[in-house]
């Protein structure tokens, strides 16, 4: 893989993360609350918290899933904006 392609994939991941939260948990929360039109925002928030409890905070600003993805690719996470 060329450096340009790696940079392209990094930018794609920054725009469209493909961690478990975005691939599975958020869509599941949306589906679970689709029938409830009252307080949908709060219902989605509650479903997301139930599906993915908050992990221990870290000083990087990246989620645990994101940090594992960086580690798997041998990349040091950039500073969080």
Per-residue pLDDT of 41-81, as tens digits, reads: 777 777 777 666 665 556 677 877 788 888 889 988 888 76
Q: What angle do CA 41, 63, 47 make, to 5 degrees?
A: 25
pTM of the entire predicted model = 0.31
Give backbone dihedrals phi and psi of 30, rounded to 5 degrees, phi first.
-65, -40
> Looking at residues 4-12, what average pLDDT do you find?
88
User: Which pLDDT score is estimated for 63?
Assistant: 78
End-to-end Cα, the chain, rounded Å = 27
The distance of Cα 59 from the centroid of its chain, to the nearest Å, equals 17
Other CB atoms within a 10 A radius of the CB of residue 22 amount to 12
**Alpha carbons 50 and 11: distance in angstroms, whole number:** 30
């Amino acid at each position: 893989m060329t450096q340009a392609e790696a940079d392209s994939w990094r930018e794609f991941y920054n725009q469209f993360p493909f961690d478990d939260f975005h691939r599975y948990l958020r869509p599941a929360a949306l589906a679970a609350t689709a029938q409830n039109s009252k307080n949908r925002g709060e219902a989605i928030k509650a479903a997301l918290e139930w599906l993915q409890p908050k992990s221990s905070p870290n000083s990087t600003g990246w989620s645990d899933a994101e940090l594992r993805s960086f580690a798997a690719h041998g990349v040091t996470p950039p500073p969080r904006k």
